[in-house]
A and B are shown apart, each in its own frame.
Chain A
Amino acid sequence: MNKIKNLADLKKLQSEVQSKIKLREKGDSPEQLVQIKVSMATCGIASGAKETMNFLIEELDHQGIDAIVTQTGCMGYCYAEPTIELTIPGKAPVVYGFVNKNKALEIIEKHIKLNEMVDGIIPVAYSTIENK
């Protein structure tokens, strides 16, 4: 990576990254992918988030489903760890709590493959700096 030399450079990179993310989130491109974020703060990992993440990566790979599985920080739902956020291209993200291997498999089989929601969704209950 070349160093960012000035503010204009930074803004350029920002818009590049943003359009990349947008592409991923809104699914405007043909290679739209299912995206899964696994909440991987210390508390999530202690509750088994690492196992869940590994399982998701292996199982999706095993089944030949193209998906991006990434880690993220604490979502704040400590009572429901491990938590994941699933985004199906073109749809609003959905957060699931208590995702162990069984739940992860159910999510893959039902939500990802059949587009059926699975019990255990955590509803979004906050506003962000964008919409405030």
Chain B
Amino acid sequence: MAEYNMHILVCGGTGCKASESELIKSNFQHRLNEFGLSDEIQVVLTGCFGFCEKGPIVKILPDNTFYTQVTPEDVTEIVNEHIIKGRKVERLLYRDPETHELVGDSKGMDFYKKQIRIALRNCGFINPENIEEYIGRDGYAALGTCLSEKTPDEVIEMIKDSGLRGRGGGGFPTGLKWQLTRKSVSDQKYVVCNADEGDPGAFMDRSILEGDPHSVLEAMAICGYCVGADKGLVYIRAEYPLAIERLKIAINQAREYGLLGDDILGTGFNFDVEIRYGAGAFVCGEETALIHSMEGKRGEPTVKPPFPAEKGYNGKPTNVNNVETFANIPVIINKGPEWFASIGTEKSKGTKVFALAGKINNVGLIEVPMGITLREIIYDIGGGIKDGREFKAVQTGGPSGGCLTKSFLDTPIDYDNLVAAGSMMGSGGMIVLDDTDCMVAIAKFYLEFTLDESCGKCTPCRIGNKRLHEILEKITEGNGKVEDLDRLRLLSNVIKDTSLCGLGQTSPNPVLSTLDHFYDEYLAHVTTASCPAGQCKALMHYSIDPDKCTGCTLCFRNCPVGAISGERRAPHYIDQSLCIKCGVCVAKCKFDAVLIG
């Protein structure tokens, strides 16, 4: 049996593969063979290291040497110097961009600080259905400390000092919210966990509840202790069955271990948690609508004030926090507010979980410190744009947010910078768009979502958004006029100013943000009836290049509507009145003869 004492890891991510990492691997194997070392050293192709900017990456274990921008020609030198003689090849080592020092051991690399898992600390690490694994990872220690050693005011002070802000999107300071609920006088108060995750493409709350439900329960109990509540409610959408099941298991286990229920840890503090199901309405993520839905009423928002901290569930003071916000709480207590506040920017502390989706290589769930740039997220963690295409924009904040363009690639991401850039943090969906995405169509997509989700209570949202959508529809079909662009902006602003709740007030954001950043694209649609990204079907025009067409009849045979005609071995022709722009001819043509204009 071979017992390898050294491993050479070669990155096989999309980016590195494009830079010949497979050749690097085979070169290594050849060289090792020549030295008779292939039984002692193994060469392995790995997934993406997420450091594509400096790829291809080669990492040598066990000494953790991290080589960057390795070429197939460098292999001989690495084998001769590093493997045979034990001398690291300095010119290929990673150089710290700030100190300009060579980093031999990758553990010291700055790159590993790009992701810090705080809220996701146990996700993918413990078995979520086993409370003991959570306890083994400092679980419920924070609750124990708070109940036995600290007063509620001291705990609230800690949360305030940490600088934690609501992770559901608004970014309201969590400590302050707790204090407001604490100040309200009542015989009964409630702690509510908002697990009504509604942004298209966001799934961090679901992942936390599925991977680490106890962290949320523990934080809810701490919150209950601070605000003076003995009852907690998790409002979760019924379409998250696995999260619900794991949450139920967790609640039962915590009760069994005496960590929920009466007289927790012998301190006389009572707290229990129940689950309330939502039917999956976007507006129910808004706290007043959420509370009404829990009360069994229609999920419609009401005017604030009164804030839930004064008058919430059943008219009693209620503290509503998001899942990710709660997941941060135990760590703040255990590691101290100073530790937490040392991460992030001046006004946005800690980390944020983002669901990275769209035209990006490493689609995934990431947790990054506040203040990281979009460039680092997309190119270092996300592995760059799919198929080597060009980055166009990132949509953050879901249907309430906006687009960040190339010019924001180096802006540090935090609550305030995103708002200044015309978008918002939102719950953390991040949809990456490339040059084939039409921004008018993107705006229309989000508006369709809002149209579906508007509760219909107030006129600007119910009717205004419908009108906005009609105008966008007109534009994407090539019937728009220049005046429509001004009308879009005017109507958007009216909806923003006059809607009752957050849903309506933010629903035109995707329209306004794309109008601001991609006005030329809108203009192209209305003046020349063309879609620069080539996405709006109605504006596309398929034709056959007679010089390239060989008359193979492949397109003719595959056209579903019989729009293509022509003799064998002679150029074919597309009848525009019949063409449905399905693109089959483009996909079938072996000679790139079908032009899209």
Interface residues in chain A, defined as those with a beta carbon under 8 Å from any beta carbon in chain B: 1, 3-7, 9-11, 13-14, 17-18, 20-21, 37, 39-43, 45, 70-80, 83, 85, 97, 114-123, 125-129, 132
Contact = CB atoms under 8 A, between A and B. Distances in A.
Contacts, number: 185
A76 B59 CA distance: 22
Contacts of A71: 127-129
B65 to A, nearest CB: 13
B247 interface: no
Contact of A114 (B1, B145, B265): B1
A13 B132 CA distance: 8
B39 to A, nearest CB: 11
Interface residues of B, number: 77
Given A4-B259, A13-B135, A41-B242, A129 B117 contact: yes
B2 A122 contact: no
A78 to B, nearest CB: 4
Contacts of A11: 141, 144
B315 interface: no
B223 interface: no
A77 B13 CA distance: 13
B211 A74 contact: yes
Contacts of A97: 47
A70 B129 CA distance: 10
A115 B4 CA distance: 8
Interface of B: 1-4, 7, 9, 11-12, 42, 44-51, 59, 111-118, 120-129, 132-133, 135-136, 138-141, 144-145, 147-149, 203, 206-208, 210-212, 240, 242-243, 256-259, 265-267, 331, 335, 343, 361-367, 381
Contact of B365 (A9, A76, A114): A76
A79 B267 CA distance: 46
A127 B113 contact: yes
Contact of B127 (A10, A42, A43, A72): A72
Nearest to A98: B47
Contact of B203 (A4, A9, A43, A75): A43
Contact of B135 (A10, A41, A120): A10
A4 B381 contact: no
Contacts of B126: 72-73
A80 B331 CA distance: 29
A126 B46 contact: no
A42 B206 CA distance: 8
10 shortest interchain CB distances as A-B pairs: A73-B211, A3-B258, A75-B124, A126-B115, A17-B136, A76-B365, A122-B47, A74-B207, A7-B144, A121-B46
Given A42-B210, A119-B46, A125 B127 contact: no
B128 A73 contact: yes
Given A4-B265, A79-B364, A114-B2, A73 B46 contact: no
Contact of A21 (B1, B133, B148): B133
B366 A80 contact: no
Given A42-B240, A114-B2, A14 B129 contact: no
A74 B205 CA distance: 11
Contacts of B208: 73
Given A13-B135, A85-B124, A120-B47, A74 B365 contact: yes
Nearest to A113: B1
